[in-house]
Amino acid sequence: MPGRVEANPDRTLSAKRSIFGALAYMTSRPGAEAFVASQMAPDEPALALALGEGLVRSPRRVLALTAHPDDLEFFAGGTLRRMALAGSQIFAVVMTDGEKRGNWTDLGGQRRSEQEAAARFQGYASVKFMGLPDFGLPEDPRLEHLVARTWDEIAPEVVFAFDPKELLPQTANRDHKALGRTVMDLARARMQTGAQVYFYGTHHPSVLVDITPVIADKLQAVKAHQSQMVFLDEAETDRTIQSMARMAAGASGCAYAEPLYRLM
């Protein structure tokens, strides 16, 4: 077992600042939303929306994998909320406690409690923390084993994870990519289970989930992660999330969407 991989707090802080800064900047620029929407529009928006409706409407057994507390709600909170409301059982698994957060204080305990509150609000069946090091997933040999074991234990019909192909350098995160790559590597051997795998946080979606009916829930679920609300105030957070959802919706015909890429 290798030693714990220590994050560089300065690096973590500047990464987080640049992500939120880039998003807030984007949402404040006239024309920026339309540009991003056109860049990330699926080839067939109507088909993408129909696939999204098919995904969220019938109850499924769902494994929702993520790297840090708040990622699931931020990137796929509307989708998971709609699935939970339709009767899906959502088993959330968070690989780290997000304990570094970009300062010198260990906030893992607080961030776990916030994730638990968000999970209750969202209606997840359970939330489990794997305790791997924040900002250390790419180097951690336990990652693949834990994801594989969890996948086989839960036996999901639908798996969610990060898109490993992060196209925007401002928002690229090595933990996110490492998790996405691991799921991609494990997916092949599980094809015969019939599980569907969807990547969230994607910029090349093949599926759009209409989250218009639950956009207020998404804002509330994200803001359950109060310790992360340090770079944007509440109103800025709402604006940023709504802007991202408008960009994903683009010209598809709904007001707010979350983009997904279906791997299998």
- Binding positions for Zn ion, rule: CB under 5 A: 67-68, 71
Q: DSSP state, 2?
A: P
Whose CB is nearest to Zn ion? 68
Q: How near is the Cβ of 252 to Zn ion at its closest, in Å?
A: 26
Which C-beta is closer to Zn ion: that of 19 or that of 47? 19
Residue closer to Zn ion (CB basis): 67 or 257: 67
* 56: Cβ contacts below 8 Å, ≥ 6 apart: 79, 82, 83, 86, 88, 209
> Could you tell me the smallest distance in angstroms from the CB atom of residue 180 to Zn ion?
11
CB of residue 152 to Zn ion, shortest distance in Å:
24
Q: How far apart are CA 243 and CA 71, in angstroms?
A: 17
Closest distance between Zn ion and the C-beta of residue 201, in Å? 9
Comparison of 42 and 164: residue with beta carbon closer to Zn ion = 164
Select 47 or 168, whichever has its Cβ closest to Zn ion: 168
Q: What pairing do the DSSP bridges indicate for beta strands 89-96 and 158-162?
A: unpaired
Least Å distance between CB 69 and Zn ion?
8
Which stretches does DSSP call E strand in 205-264? 207-210, 257-262
Token representation of residue 59: 């109850």
Q: Which is nearer to Zn ion, 138 or 213 (CB)?
A: 138
- In order, the DSSP letters of 75-138 are HHHHHHHHHHHTT-EEEEEEEE----TTSSS--HHHHHHHHHHHHHHHT-SEEEEEEEPTT-GG
